[in-house]
Amino acid sequence: MYSQKVMDHFTNPRNVGEIETPDGVGEVGNAKCGDIMKIYLKVEENVITDVKFKTYGCGSAIASSSMATEMIKGKTVEEALNLTNKAVAEALDGLPPVKMHCSVLAEQAIKKALQDYARKNNLDIPGLTDIEIDDDHDHHEEIED
């Protein structure tokens, strides 16, 4: 069901942990499998010099975070902003369709961390400010039956 790359990043995830004085932090969650993902960024002169993550969740969420952090390390803020969950899933040689939302989480956590970075530094990063992040946690209270 899972590709070797998914299994590799799940059993041996890269960049796990946290950064003590991060330049940006982003946390997102999804209700579907209870994944919570937190990404820490260190940014120097517009380049992501370090990135760490903490993910509580399913194997796909952990593998996606691991791969996504590898993909943005050493990249510029703009390059990181353009990382899509599709690219993450492709780099993992695919995810089962029911697990695609777990890779969406990685993309959103990175964008949230970049938003945090931009806010803290009063930066206007083109394309960043109008990103709508669908955070499942905020929707729980709205759902009533």
Binding mask 98-137 for Zn ion (x = CB under 5 A): ----x-----------------------------------
Q: Measure Cα distances from 46 to 50, 57, 125 in Å.
A: 12, 30, 10
Minimum distance from residue 62 beta carbon to Zn ion (Å): 9
Minimum distance from residue 36 beta carbon to Zn ion (Å): 10
Residue 61 sits in the site that holds Zn ion (CB under 5 A): yes
Q: Measure Cα distances from 139 to 4, 14, 54 in Å.
A: 35, 31, 23
Minimum distance from residue 87 beta carbon to Zn ion (Å): 18
Can you tell me the distance from the alpha carbon of 100 to that of 52, in angstroms, rounded to the nearest whole number? 21
| Catalytic status, residue 58 | no
- Count of residues near Zn ion by CB under 5 A: 5
| Catalytic status, residue 33 | yes
Among 7, 25, 58, 100, binds Zn ion (CB under 5 A): 58
Nearer to Zn ion, 61 or 72 (CB): 61
Helices first, then strands: H and E counts in the chain = 6, 3
Under 8 Å between Cβ of 41 and 17: no
